[in-house]
Amino acid sequence: MSGQKKDNVAAYLFLSPWLVGLFVITIGPMIASLYLAFTDYNLIQAPQWTGLENFTRMLSDQRLHNSLKVTFTYVFVSVPLQLAVALLLAVVLDRGVRGMAFYRSVFYLPSLLGSSVAIAILWKQVFGTDGLLNQVIAPLGFDGKGWISDPSTALGTLVVLNVWTFGAPMVIFLAGLRQIPAMYYEAASVDGAGPLRRFASITLPLLTPIIFFNLVLQIIHAFQSFTQAFVVSGGTGGPSDSTMFYTLYLYDRGFGNFDMGYASAMAWFLLVIIGVFTAANFVASKYWVFYDD
Amino acid sequence: MTTETLPRSVPATSGTTLAWRRVRPALTHVALAATAVVMLYPVIWMVVSSLRPGNEIFRDPGILVRDLRIENYRIGWNALTEPFTRYLLNSAAVVLGSIVGNLVSCSMAAYAFARLNFTGKKFWFAIMLVTIMLPIHVVIVPQYILFSQAGWINTFLPLIVPKLLATDAFFVFLMVQFIRGIPRELDEAARIDGCGKGGIFLRVILPLMVPALATTTIFTFIWTWNDFFSQLIYLTDPKMYTVPVALRAFVDATASTSWGSLFAMSVVSLVPVFLAFLLGQRFLIKGIATTGIK
């Protein structure tokens, strides 16, 4: 065997578990789900080819439209809020506060807990009628209410939960802030720039690649949120479908009603949405992301 | 904010500036500490409430325990058809299998991508990067059909086998990034000493990539422990429930009437995550800063 051939054999041996996984667990099922998206399939009878019917059904499915509205609201409100808080605290911590490592850990911890069922259960209590929040605000003279049982505020409690997990993007911002040379700030100070000016003219532009990275990541992540809404609403997406995330509705169709063809069509539509948003982000980034080199 | 322009308008030695320089760090600390308290308060309150008699949970927003009761834990532990020990062991089995799977298969793939030259390398690497972004939803329905035809529903295999096949591609990426930082001269020296590619991987690369392996272990631990969606789908027999699925069943069973025991089991479920966080902080922070995983 020639050298290159030998190299190929060795490399593909090392790659073999990943390659098997790629074809059997990822690409195969992707092709299958693309096929199922054009069928009616309930797991028991063989899939029936129905052409575009699942997609035309999506066009007139009011619950699906509502779930899109809920998901978009969630993404557009919670992601910018979460990133703003993350950036603010990263900048404060980066100034070399004593005990920085301690604060960083404390702020980061919710990112690890936030996706758990346990925290969703906690949230359900905190924002319930007898919940912690109402107990805290009652002595201050505010009238409490069932934040989770009221359709106008239920989604807001999940937004708060997502903002609460700002620690992960904060850590990425901190890593980015470290890359900014201190001499830029020194030079700006000598020229008389105050902290706000330095932030606007140095920190923000030099951090745009990191902001972009976090934005893309958190948007993809937020579109796929499931656990919190599922647990808080008892799997119903209620009250009045106000927390019916797209993924929750997909689960409801596929695994609640064994409407597998429709669920597959929904999954592909989700992929398209995420793809379009990511692509749009990349296109828009040309106008606001600043690369130093 | 007039203070922002102080360094320019007022000489640096002036009293106001000095006072401000002393006060500002203190104010920052107060603000940071307040933020930390607000953030952690609900979790601390949950721990405290899990030790209280049920009716107090609805009255007391404080975190002092006057009447310590641990029976919430006893009641919660036996509230479902199986004792909670069972769910903890089930979760432990899934987590352990996932960790082993990710460590072995992702490190092998990463070594190939970072160190070996082969036909189609760029193509496969690009595919690997794309799969990181792929939502699980586009594969979950056929995967479910596949695993159910294999008779794997209500076993841990649908949760572990994909990890053995390196489907958590971000760990491949993380390890590739790490291996690229290891000097190639070490591979060369080992090769001259007669090591083959397998030998270089096992004796040179693996021992040097322990930090990346630790990061992978800790993230796999926490994510798998917290994972709900796939465990909910594949585990429907109460005997096979993992901790998150059991907790959710508990919520449904009690209709949230016994917050005390529900909180008690929630606390139990968070303890392993918290311990992993304490032990692995360094690796967690590094891992997230370099790859953006969370």
Measured between CB atoms, does A207 come within 8 Å of chain B?
A: no
Residue A50 lies in a domain: no
A67 is a domain residue = yes
pLDDT at B5: 35
Judgement on whether residues B37 and B112 belong to the same structural domain of the protein = no
Task: Using CB atoms, pick whichever of B198, B263, B273 lies closest to residue A113.
Answer: B273
Indicate whether B238 and B267 sit together in one domain. Answer: yes
**Would you state the pLDDT for residue B10?**
37
Token pair recorded at residue B137? 């939803």
The answer to whether residue A130 sits within a structural domain is yes
Residues B48 and B190 in one domain: no
Residues B256, B259, B265, B268: is their CA dihedral positive or negative?
positive
Which two three-digit tokens encode residue A84?
């703003």
Q: What is the pLDDT of residue A292?
A: 67
- What amino acid is encoded at B283 in this protein? F
Helix orientation angle between A154-164 and A117-126, rounded to the nearest 10 degrees: 130
In a domain, B168, yes or no: yes
What is the distance, to the nearest Å, from the Cα of residue B43 to the centroid of all Cα atoms in its chain? 17
**Residue B15's pLDDT band (cuts 50, 70, 90):** low
B223 in the same domain as B116? yes
pLDDT at B2: 35
Number of structural domains chain A divides into: 1
**Residue B194 and residue B87 in one domain:** yes
Task: Tell me: pLDDT of B1 over 50.
Answer: no
Instruction: Indicate whether B8 pLDDT > 80.
Output: no
Reply yes or no on whether the pLDDT at B4 is more than 70: no
- Output the tens digit of pLDDT for each of chain A's 293 residues: 677 788 899 999 999 999 999 999 999 999 999 999 999 999 999 999 999 999 999 999 999 999 999 999 999 999 999 999 999 999 999 987 888 889 999 999 999 999 999 999 999 999 999 899 999 998 888 888 899 999 999 999 999 999 999 999 999 999 999 999 989 999 999 999 888 899 999 999 999 999 999 999 999 999 999 999 999 999 999 899 999 999 999 999 999 999 999 999 999 999 999 999 999 999 999 999 988 66
Residue B11 lies inside a defined structural domain of this protein: no
- Angstrom CA distances, A178 to A102, A170, A174, A215, B76, stand at 18, 12, 6, 19, 46
| Domain identity same for B83 and B64 | no
Residue B240 lies in a domain: yes
Say how many C-beta atoms besides its own lie within 10 A of residue A162's C-beta. Answer: 21
Is residue B285 domain-shared with residue B203, that is, in the same domain?
yes
Contact yes or no for A189 and B7 at CB 8 A: yes
- Separation CA A48–CA A50 (nearest Å): 6
pLDDT attached to residue B230:
96
Q: Which domain holds residue A196?
A: 61-286
Cα distance from A82 to chain B (closest Cα, Å)? 13
Pick the residue of B17, B45, B137, B256 with the most A CBs within 10 A to test the interface with A by mutation.
B137
Flag whether residue B253 sits within 8 Å of chain A, measured between CB atoms: no
CB contact under 8 A, B140 and A110: no
The answer to whether position B175 is within a domain reads yes
Residues B143 and B275 in one domain: yes
> Count of alpha carbons within 13 Å of B144, Cβ hemisphere only?
26
Residue B91 lies in a domain: yes
Cβ B266 vs Cβ A118: under 8 Å: yes
Measured in degrees and rounded to the nearest 5, phi and psi for residue A39 equal -130, 170
Radius of gyration of chain B (CA): 25
Q: Who contacts A236 (Cβ-Cβ below 8 Å, separation ≥6)?
A: A244
Place of tokens 């807001």: A156
Q: What is the pLDDT of residue B205?
A: 96
Residue A129 lies in a domain: yes
- Residue A251 maps to a domain: yes
pLDDT at B12 over 50: no
Does B4 fall in a domain?
no
Q: How far is B92 from chain A (nearest CA, A)?
A: 16
Instruction: Say yes or no for a CB contact (<8 Å) between A14 and B108.
Output: yes
Instruction: Tell the residue number behind the tokens 């591979």, with chain if given.
Output: B187
pLDDT classification of B57: cutoffs 50, 70, 90:
confident
What H or E segment, with its residue span, contains residue A40? strand A39-40
Q: What is the mean pLDDT of chain B?
A: 90
Nearest to B166 among A18, A125, A271 (CB): A18
DSSP A23: I
- Number of domains present in the structure of chain B: 2
CATH number at residue A125: 1.10.3720.10
Task: Answer yes or no: do B89 and B38 share one domain.
Answer: no
Nearest CA in chain B to A5: B118
Which helix (H) or strand (E) segment holds residue A168: the answer is: helix A167-178
pLDDT in tens, B278-287: 999 888 888 8
**Final residue before a domain boundary, out of B68, B85, B104:** B68
Span B144-167, pLDDT tens digits:
999 999 999 999 999 999 999 999
- CATH code, domain carrying B82: 1.10.3720.10
Residues B49 and B169 in one domain: no
Q: For residues B180 and B280, state if they share a domain.
A: yes
pLDDT for A35: 98
Instruction: Say yes or no for a CB contact (<8 Å) between A121 and B262.
Output: yes
Residues of A in contact with B172 (CB under 8 A): 18
**Chain B partners of A99 at a C-beta cutoff of 8 Å?**
29
- Nearest by Cα to A219 from A264, A171, A280: A280
CA distance A213 to chain B (A): 8
- State which residues form the domain around B283: 76-291
8 A C-beta contact, residue B264 and residue B250: no
Residue B46 lies in a domain: yes
User: Within a domain: residue A123?
Assistant: yes
In a domain, B7, yes or no: no
**One domain for residues B60 and B33:** yes
| pLDDT mean over B41-60 | 90
Question: Could you give the 3-state DSSP secondary structure of residue A48?
Answer: strand
Instruction: Tell if the CB–CB gap between A18 and B251 is shorter than 8 Å.
Output: no
Non-local (6+) Cβ contacts of A96 within 8 A are none
Distance CA A220, CA A274 (A): 6
Is the residue at A247 inside a domain? Answer: yes
Provide the pLDDT for residue B270: 97
Distance from CA of B107 to the nearest CA of A (A): 9
Minimal CA separation from A274 to chain B, in Å:
9
A12 found inside a domain:
no
Model ipTM? 0.92
Report A:105-124 residues touching B (Cβ under 8 A). 105-113, 115-119, 121-124
